Structure 1
């Protein structure tokens, strides 16, 4: 069409795929390429649409996700003439050969072909052979360690601020003295000495130069880390991220999961702290309710008291008026 805002004709587009049949209605409210695009994208059919514009005009391009299983067909009804649709490409799976074994996948991201490796296919180049090696692995391992230490230190710094004691009359952190927070910090401080694997020369973070500072944050001895990577980068990587996690080869994520599980257990520090805070919340709610009840009783009591005082005051005023009349009478007789 000349532009994305030109009318396309009211009609119904039907998208059919493995997920079912999806009708996209184009009426007076969305009679344009822009309206059609938005309606298709809102159809939950798995098909998405974009508008491509150049000097020749605007075109609607529709596509599904990767793989033969996501192929779709499109039919149209309710308007004449039908729009001119061109099939740009057919749905296809990716096909690769790994060590002579043909593997077919419904995605361009292939996992499982090589244990612990994800292959991202960027273009189809039939007959082209590639060799996958570990030349870049040392940089990846060091980057993994550095990213973890940075993230850990952000968490630990936040905990340090939250649990800071109020000294010399100053205000402490909101979790100062909280046992749950202290237990979190205690378990995290043990991470560098936690055994991540039972094989190889490197079994803990401390073995590769990651140490705990006095404030609980981590630092990296780059000389020691570089030496460990140069000696056996594969062993360092498998310690941090084992190909297959077991009870004795838990890796860094397994160690963190174990800390999280222990803290969130029914008898764990966080669960206990949560129960304690919930009990405090209920106590505060009960106290607030009692204060409201006592306040209401006091209000009623004061209203009763003031009503009595008003009556007494009225009586006193009547008495005063009588006495004044009597004195006036005495004065007249005198």
Structure 2
């Protein structure tokens, strides 16, 4: 830990502590050992003490908190280290005040489940504290799985983002969506070709989606072009976009032509066909807004393809999705469009 109580009960940072003084744990009041010989000065419990703060922290985590404190101090945010919130049994790595609002900065280096992340985020919300999850280098150095990206998604300037803290440079880095442009440009045709080949390569009947398409008289690799859409702008669904869209198209084929929905009913139907990734670091309003944006993109593409239309005040299913005869026909069509 980076702070401890002195003889007067005042909190003192390890980097400001004196070896001739005695210091105690702010949680259990046990005497602590001051370790200033390491790269990051800190306090530690003596062996075999049962305090929850007795669990060792990595040097990287200690360095992250210490550099965050200095970074926030330079911005005039009145930072405090390791602030406890007894009512929710949580302790903020760094608590700052931005525009008169308290914000907890959580530097996350180790794995954290979606459930625990949600509990901690909701805990801060209960006591009126905003929280920013800052991922450490252990996350930044590897390609993150879609589920991990969704887990730590927060909004920065109203855009879904991952925020990284690089303690050695004392710098924030961001991962944000790069929009790939509208359907019909050359990159989209390249994407269609790559995704088509990938679908064909993994077209085993052991795959539930492949089996579902086969039972409907289709090959997944011969799927309609509307199944490809644009490149994934942010991971929101358990299935990758092409597979998710295929599920929607197959579900539509089970409905009678002419079926209609009011706008909210249409979005509700799409949502029932979708298995969403959890977004535990977002508020319910933020989560809903991102998901609706995702559904609206699909709706726009289905309208453009003529599969649905707008009549009066409702969406109407008017045309079956147009599948290719087989994989080779679709691949030849894609190559022709690319001029190959």
Q: Same fold per TM (> 0.5)? A: no
Q: Which has the higher contact order (CA 8 A, sep 6+)?
A: 2
Structure number with the higher helix fraction is: 1
Normalization by structure 1: what TM-score? 0.24
Normalization by structure 2: what TM-score? 0.24
